[in-house]
Structure 1
Amino acid sequence: MTAPSPSSPEAPASEQTASQGGGAGPAGSAGTAGTAGTAGTAGHAPELQALAAAPAALAPLALKIPIIGAVAALLQLGMALAARGETRFQLATSADFLALPVLHLPAAAVIGVLAALSAGAAAWALHRARARAAIGIGVKAILGAAFALSFLTWVGAGRDSVIPLVTILSSALALSVPLVFGSLAGLIGERSGTINIAIEGQLLGGAFLGAVVASMASSPWVGLIAAPLAGILVALLLALFGLKHRVHQIVVGVVLNVLVLGLTSFLFSTVLAHNPAGLNAAMRLPALPIPVLAQIPVIGPVMFKQTILVYLMYLAVAVLSVMLFRSRWGLRMRACGEHPKAADTVGINVMRTRVNNLVLGGALAGLGGAFFTLGSGLAFTKDMAAGNGYIALAAMILGGWRPLGALGASLLFGFATAVGQTISVIGSPVPANIILMIPYVVTILAVAGFVGKVRAPAAEGVPYP
């Protein structure tokens, strides 16, 4: 069969156009290409129009925070219905600059107002979720603060005892110190790609060495300087076996925790117990009130009338928050934790970065361990860290591997511990042990993804090279 000529009716339109407009030269070629492109676009016009008219895919509804807020509001409503009488809050201590009177509040009314506030925050969170917009940390803070204050009001309703609000907040901040330092130690290690399970051993070693050196030098300040050395030693062992010899980092961390626990317990029983005055004296770092700021009612005694450890905690969180995301050091660290091969390609020494971060984290954890002895004014005892290293890891995960998030999660743990200690003294319809379980329940929910998705660094625990 003979092919149709370009001028015949059977010839395609594109060929006819090419024959007429593109005899020779660039003009003809351009005309051919332009006409062909137009014809192709016209041929696909219905498909393109249908694609443009199709509805855009929407992100799934993030209903976790609205659900949590609604449940919190319902629980607060139940507290309001069960509350009887007044709740008395003590807003100052005898040592404060400004003596505030005891605050008498009608328990049911206060809890009802806070329940309405939680319901409003939950409704706003639902509105933001339906709009596929970020809910923000403010709504979460309102929900948490409203529920905590409602619970304290319910606990003290109709009782003769006073709720020492300032004491609870001060204790919560102090109890969070080892957790914050421990979570920061884990954070900078994992951000560079190394899993640091040995935080428990670093805290315990810092508490031990700080107490011993402070007793020998008769100065808690000298012990504070020595405490980070214990954490650094544990970190170097973790780097030696976990990074250089490629032993599984989680296994090495657990073994180091057991090693430090056994070693400190042995030395306590055989050495410290026979000379407590010279090697294990109870020494305490003095409180250092900041002028003017320490005189602010409620906030001043809580935040600005603390030991040097608390102020160092403020500094560490602030510096790491800036350095981690706004400096070349932080960029290199995160590159080693996310894609070490790419980091190596651009000239970053991955091994050195990981070792340096482990050493820095060990120093921070050892400093946090000094709280158990020098910060609390206690002599060293066996297993003094009491699992706080593992709680610090949970705080790191709950905080999303961010310094401010780790601080918030650690404060949650510290607040729950302080509330549990307080209500065990003043009495409560809820056992204190139940209160102490709250942070662990929150951690389980966070790890399960109910509170929010958290993503670990992609190359954590992966040896390189």
Structure 2
Amino acid sequence: MENFAALIAASINSGTPLLIAALGLLINERAGVLNLGAEGMMLVAAITGFAVAHQTHIPELGFLAGAIAGMLMASLFAWFVLVLSTNQVATGLALSIFGSGLSAFIGQSFVGQSLPAGNHGIPGLANLPFVGKALFDQHWMVYFSLLLCVALVWFLYRTRSGLILRAVGESPESAHALGYPVRRIRYAALLFSGACCGMAGAYLSVVYTPMWVEGLVSGRGWIALALTTFATWRPARVLLGALLFGSVTILQFHFQAIGLAIPSQILSMLPYVATILVLVLISRNPDWIRLNMPASLGKPFHH
């Protein structure tokens, strides 16, 4: 039972950065903007957060620095897409490549360095049998991600601002005709997305690893993008998807630990194979995707 509790805890820990990043990407996609630069934003935020936490010995400042770095990268994307009206797909891919190179350059002096492990868990609850180890012995960012998911459900479906955001994603022309500042709303959504991707990247380098190596994010930005489609742009389903992909990621280490005679390279492929399979299964019903996808996703707005 202890091993099972540890497996659950590790799956939640692994799914947390995916959840935070995917929730941020869901908001900018709900506003009609497709940003494929999540991987680059997370990488830049990961090295920024690690560098600040390493130098100050204050992990919380690392998360703040990561969020700011993510917002700066998102602002760069927003300037190209919203002001210069560049192609969203091409600009996002360029941002991802740029972020990969920039993070490698900034992180040269930090390669191989690590951070001390901190004390996690909720006092009093972390010592409970089974559930304490499985659910309550986590970093505070895990619980923050769950609260963020609940908050976004409330924001999107229970507030006027959430209704306006969804209206911008469905028909920016109609929202503009009603007097809503479409570009400013999309810019705010991109900033929020950048902050979330930034915190997710910082979580990877400050808590999950905690160290810096080049390419630390390892495709999680792309998995987070796939999660938004898998969840049909709904926060609660993003949570389930993040836990699913987190479990798949941890299973590869569990299989290695119990000595299964499977090459480690094949086990390392499991999260990405799962991503491809999910996208293939979803793509079999394009009408279902069109029914749930924001109508203006990826389309420019020129007013």
TM-score (norm 2): 0.91
From 46, 59, 69, the equivalent of 1:230 is 69
From 414, 438, 442, the equivalent of 2:277 is 442
- Mapped contact 1:220–1:283 kept (Cα < 8 A): no
Deviation at 1:341, TM superposition (A): 1.2
Give the partner amino acid of 1:225.
L
Give the partner amino acid of 1:460.
L
Correspondence 1:326 to 2:158 = yes
Correspondence 1:461 to 2:298 = yes
Give the partner amino acid of 2:248.
A
From 377, 382, 388, the equivalent of 2:220 is 388
Return the alpha-carbon distance in structure 2 between the equivalents of residues 203 and 285 of structure 1. 21
Q: Residue 408 of structure 1 aligns with which residue?
A: 240
The equivalences for 1:350-365 within 5 A come to 350-365=182-197
Give CA deviations for 1:151-200 in whole Å, capped at 9, x if unaligned.
xxxxxxxxxxxxx2112111111111111111112100010011011111
The aligned length equals: 297
- Mapped contact 2:42–2:217 kept (Cα < 8 A): yes
- Mapped contact 1:221–1:285 kept (Cα < 8 A): no
Return the alpha-carbon distance in structure 2 between the equivalents of residues 381 and 429 of structure 1. 28
Q: Residue 174 of structure 1 aligns with which residue?
A: 13
Correspondence 1:189 to 2:21 = no
- Mapped contact 1:220–1:285 kept (Cα < 8 A): no
Q: Residue 108 of structure 1 aligns with which residue?
A: none
Give CA deviations for 1:10-34 in whole Å, capped at 9, x if unaligned.
xxxxxxxxxxxxxxxxxxxxxxxxx
Q: Residue 174 of structure 2 aligns with which residue?
A: 342
Q: Residue 421 of structure 1 aligns with which residue?
A: 253
The equivalences for 1:62-81 within 5 A come to none
Identity fraction in percent: 30
Return the alpha-carbon distance in structure 2 between the equivalents of residues 223 and 336 of structure 1. 33
Deviation at 1:447, TM superposition (A): 3.0
My pick for the range that moved more, 300-309 or 201-210, is 300-309
- Mapped contact 1:284–1:373 kept (Cα < 8 A): no
Give the partner amino acid of 1:421.
F
Aligned Cα root-mean-square deviation (Å) = 2.1
Correspondence 1:294 to 2:126 = yes
Return the alpha-carbon distance in structure 2 between the equivalents of residues 437 and 369 of structure 1. 18
Give the partner amino acid of 1:321.
V
Give the partner amino acid of 2:20.
F
- Mapped contact 1:372–1:385 kept (Cα < 8 A): yes
Q: Residue 126 of structure 1 aligns with which residue?
A: none
Return the alpha-carbon distance in structure 2 between the equivalents of residues 398 and 376 of structure 1. 24
Correspondence 1:304 to 2:139 = no
Mark the CA change 1:354 to 1:447 in structure 2 (over 3 Å): closer, same or farther: same
The equivalences for 1:132-281 within 5 A come to 164-269=3-108, 271-272=109-110, 281=113
Deviation at 1:311, TM superposition (A): 1.5
Mark the CA change 1:266 to 1:430 in structure 2 (over 3 Å): closer, same or farther: closer
CA radius of gyration, larger in = 1
Mark the CA change 1:354 to 1:451 in structure 2 (over 3 Å): closer, same or farther: closer
Between structures 1 and 2, the one with greater helix share: 2
Mark the CA change 1:216 to 1:331 in structure 2 (over 3 Å): closer, same or farther: same
Deviation at 1:356, TM superposition (A): 0.3
Mark the CA change 1:170 to 1:335 in structure 2 (over 3 Å): closer, same or farther: same
Mark the CA change 1:354 to 1:437 in structure 2 (over 3 Å): closer, same or farther: closer
Q: Residue 366 of structure 1 aligns with which residue?
A: 198
SS in 1 for 2:280: helix
Return the alpha-carbon distance in structure 1 between the equivalents of residues 36 and 119 of structure 2. 32
Give the partner amino acid of 2:294.
P
Return the alpha-carbon distance in structure 2 between the equivalents of residues 196 and 232 of structure 1. 13
- Structure 1: runs of 5 or more not aligned: 1-90, 93-163
Return the alpha-carbon distance in structure 1 between the equivalents of residues 155 and 36 of structure 2. 23
Deviation at 1:437, TM superposition (A): 5.2
- Structure 2: runs of 5 or more not aligned: none
Deviation at 1:287, TM superposition (A): 3.9
Return the alpha-carbon distance in structure 2 between the equivalents of residues 219 and 191 of structure 1. 34
Mark the CA change 1:285 to 1:356 in structure 2 (over 3 Å): closer, same or farther: farther
- Mapped contact 2:170–2:295 kept (Cα < 8 A): yes
SS in 2 for 1:461: coil
Mark the CA change 1:327 to 1:388 in structure 2 (over 3 Å): closer, same or farther: same
Larger RCO, structures 1/2 (Cα 8 Å, 6+ apart): 2
Deviation at 1:250, TM superposition (A): 1.0
SS in 1 for 2:126: helix
Give CA deviations for 1:178-231 in whole Å, capped at 9, x if unaligned.
111111121000100110111111111111101111122122222122110110
Deviation at 1:264, TM superposition (A): 1.5
Mark the CA change 1:420 to 1:307 in structure 2 (over 3 Å): closer, same or farther: same
Give the partner amino acid of 1:260.
G
Give the partner amino acid of 1:352.
R
Return the alpha-carbon distance in structure 2 between the equivalents of residues 415 and 183 of structure 1. 16
